[in-house]
Homo-oligomer: A and B are copies of this chain.
Amino acid sequence: MALVKLIEYADASPEVRSVYDDIMKTRAVDWINNFWKALANDPRELARIWQNVKQVMAPGALDPLVKEMVYVAVSATNGCEYCTFSHTAAARNKGMTDAMLMELMAVVGLANETNRLANGLRVDVDKQFKP
């Protein structure tokens, strides 16, 4: 149960529906997931976040599957259940196999481990790593 009501398409204002329509068209799906229905309580916020997702996750210097896997890596690191489920599903739609997911998690786990070893022992950055 979310902290705000979920705005269904049938109950949405034209401003919200316009964003919902763009989400469904861009992603070639016929439903709206709960994240957007929650944000729709503030139509400007809904539009802002969607514009950001649309721009940042588009193909560019990195391919979309790599971007989705980075999203999963960050979500797993932060312990966000919703984002881990939703972006793992998105990454699978873009071609991520179970073998790739397991290997991604191995990197995420290792990075979280060595981050704490470096921070816990307060290791100084080598000058060779400075750009």
Contact = CB atoms under 8 A, between A and B. Distances in A.
A10 interface: no
Contacts of A128: 31, 33, 89
A79 to B, nearest CB: 5
- Which of A3, A107, A129 has the most C-beta atoms of chain B within 10 angstroms of its own C-beta? A3
A11 interface: no
B115 A83 contact: yes
Given A41-B98, A42-B99, 14 more contacts: A34-B123, A39-B102, A45-B105, A62-B100, A71-B111, A74-B111, A84-B119, A84-B120, A85-B130, A108-B117, A109-B120, A112-B112, A112-B115, A113-B113
A1 B124 contact: yes
Interface of A: 1-4, 31, 33-35, 38-39, 41-42, 44-45, 48-49, 52-53, 55-57, 60-62, 66-67, 69-89, 97-126, 128-131
A90 to B, nearest CB: 9
14 contacts: A1-B131, A3-B131, A4-B101, A35-B118, A39-B102, A45-B106, A61-B103, A62-B104, A66-B66, A83-B114, A84-B120, A86-B129, A109-B117, A113-B113
Contact of A48 (B55, B57, B60, B124): B55
